[in-house]
């Protein structure tokens, strides 16, 4: 399933019509395919401030086969050398005066950026600043990046990563993600890394080789896409869904050479059954993706207890109970485990008629943040992914007007695809993403809702 308007606006007849009517023409995004180069061209790397990450950054890019241009070289380069990415190392800022250097570097480089380009800014976290002036300069970058993301066109994105002192080893994995086609629909995001034991390297094509990954709600929609991407990346997937979805669940599991496990995650014995299955059939688990979710919309004043309780049970309580049981079951959650919890833009922005759903999805974010330190102690991580408007069977049934507005009110002017959510979850599940913990990553094309 694709975003029909984007396909139409980029077709022969469609592009002429869209131009004549003055309608937006959303770009065809650069999405990851196995074997794809990290970037389709060189990257400009520059710094504003001391730039303590420059050497690490250059090494990461060179390892990935990306030519690195200095800002001056990029200025004079021919058209073939137009940058596919601009990476600004803004670490070491002492006050707002130095922000001018960020502007001086970004303005000419962004002007020459290729379509589906990437802007990535790296900085020290505001929370660890020595002075208000330093905190101001660091925080200012958030406003700069979020605005630039809104200005970029042609499928380009801009994101910001805060890198605390001591977390330099955590940098390579997010840099690769944000520059790659895996982050096609992740835009205007801000992440803070933490120090972690990061494995030296991983197979770029199969980062999940040898891992066992559980995906709930895998019979269809986003969950089926997560299962496919995880299997593509090398994992053995245990696909979980309710018995009523058994047929489609089996079809997904067969397609990817995984295991189908019928389970209602809200059943009183669900956690015990899952733990036993993972211990006995797979000897443990490396990745758990809590994707299963339901909506039961009604205005709060009209909402009955069944709607409230049903949504809470699937979307929040089951995530809490299954995760707790896995943490407590001796040896089942393997070292370096990854738990990724699906939240939602509604949990950040709120949504009319979704007080139950938004409460459950906001709860997921609270849970993830609170659990992060316990996971870090085990060398594991727990993160949330909050999808925005994703084109699925569910959104296809929305009234045309609501659907079209929902799909367009973001910086990329289009709905995301299930695979965009799946790529982000697969990245967070990978071994080298060890320094991304307790974070919420929105996959929403920088939606205006809740921004």
Ligand X SMILES: NC(=O)c1ccc[n+]([C@@H]2O[C@H](COP(=O)([O-])OP(=O)(O)OC[C@H]3O[C@@H](n4cnc5c(N)ncnc54)[C@H](O)[C@@H]3O)[C@@H](O)[C@H]2O)c1
| Interface with ligand X (CB under 6 A) | 216-217, 219-223, 241-242, 245, 264-266, 291-294, 314, 342, 344-345, 387, 389-390, 392-395
CA atoms 115, 103, 138, 68: torsion sign = positive
What does 312-350 look like in DSSP terms, one character per residue?
HIIIIIHHHHHHHHHHHSTTTEEEEEEEEEE--THHHH-
Q: What is the 3-state secondary structure (H, E, C) of 203-217?
A: CCCCCCCCCEEEEEC
Q: How far is the CB of 230 from ligand X (least distance, A)?
A: 15
DSSP assignment, residue 164? Answer: -
How far from 331 is each of 40, 162, 335, 374, 391, CA to CA, in Å?
Answer: 43, 33, 8, 16, 38
Assess whether 357 carries a catalytic annotation.
yes
**Residue pair 296/311 in contact by the 8 Å Cβ criterion:** yes
Catalytic residue among 5, 32, 185, 357: 357
339/330 Cα distance (integer angstroms): 17
Q: Is 121 helix (H, G, I), strand (E, B) or coil?
A: strand
Side-chain half-sphere exposure of 239, counting CA atoms within 13 A: 31
At residue 123, the 3 state secondary structure works out as strand
Helix (H/G/I), strand (E/B), else coil: 402: helix
Q: Which two tokens stand for residue 188?
A: 């205007």
- The distance of closest approach from Cβ of residue 394 to ligand X in the complex, given in angstroms and rounded to an integer, is 5
Q: How far is the CB of 154 from ligand X (least distance, A)?
A: 24
Question: Which residues are part of the catalytic machinery?
Answer: 357
């Amino acid at each position: 399933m694709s975003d029909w308007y984007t396909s139409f606006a980029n077709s022969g007849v469609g592009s002429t019509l869209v131009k004549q009517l003055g309608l937006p023409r959303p770009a065809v995004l650069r999405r990851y395919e196995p074997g794809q180069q990290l970037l389709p061209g060189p990257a400009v790397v520059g710094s504003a401030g001391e730039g303590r990450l420059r050497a690490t950054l250059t090494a990461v890019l060179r390892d990935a086969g990306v030519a690195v241009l200095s800002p001056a070289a990029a200025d004079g380069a021919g058209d073939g050398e137009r940058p596919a990415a601009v990476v600004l190392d803004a670490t070491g800022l002492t006050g707002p005066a130095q922000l001018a250097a960020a502007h001086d570097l970004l303005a000419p480089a962004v002007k020459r950026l290729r379509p589906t380009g990437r802007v990535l800014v790296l900085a020290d976290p505001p929370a660890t600043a020595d002075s208000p002036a330093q905190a101001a300069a660091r925080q200012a970058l958030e406003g700069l990046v979020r605005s630039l993301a809104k200005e970029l066109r042609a499928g380009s994105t801009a994101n910001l990563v805060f890198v605390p002192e001591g977390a330099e080893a955590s940098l390579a994995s997010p840099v690769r993600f944000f520059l790659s086609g895996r982050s096609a629909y992740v835009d205007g995001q801000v992440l803070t890394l933490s120090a972690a034991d990061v494995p030296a390297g991983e197979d770029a094509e199969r980062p999940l080789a040898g891992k066992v990954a559980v995906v709930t709600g895998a019979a269809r929609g986003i969950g089926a896409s997560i299962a496919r991407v995880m299997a593509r990346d090398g994992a053995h997937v245990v696909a979980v869904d309710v018995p009523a979805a058994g047929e489609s669940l089996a079809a997904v599991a067969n397609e990817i050479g995984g295991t189908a496990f019928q389970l209602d995650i809200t059943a009183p014995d669900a956690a015990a059954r899952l733990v036993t299955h993972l211990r006995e059939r797979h000897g443990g688990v490396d990745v758990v993706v809590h994707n299963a979710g339901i909506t039961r919309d009604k205005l709060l004043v009209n909402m009955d207890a069944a709607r409230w309780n049903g949504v809470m049970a699937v979307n929040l309580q089951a995530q809490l109970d299954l995760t707790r049981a896995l943490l407590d079951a001796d040896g089942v959650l393997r070292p370096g485990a990854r738990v990724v919890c699906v939240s939602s833009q509604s949990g950040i922005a709120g949504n009319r008629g979704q007080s139950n759903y938004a409460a459950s999805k906001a709860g997921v974010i609270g849970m993830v943040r609170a659990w992060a330190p316990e996971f870090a102690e085990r060398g594991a991580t727990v993160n949330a992914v909050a999808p925005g408007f994703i084109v699925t069977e569910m959104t296809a049934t929305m009234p045309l007007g609501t659907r079209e507005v929902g799909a367009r009110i973001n910086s990329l002017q289009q709905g995301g695809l299930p695979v965009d959510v799946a790529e982000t979850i697969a990245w967070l599940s990978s071994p080298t993403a060890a320094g991304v913990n307790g974070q919420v990553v929105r996959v929403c094309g920088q939606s205006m809702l809740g921004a």
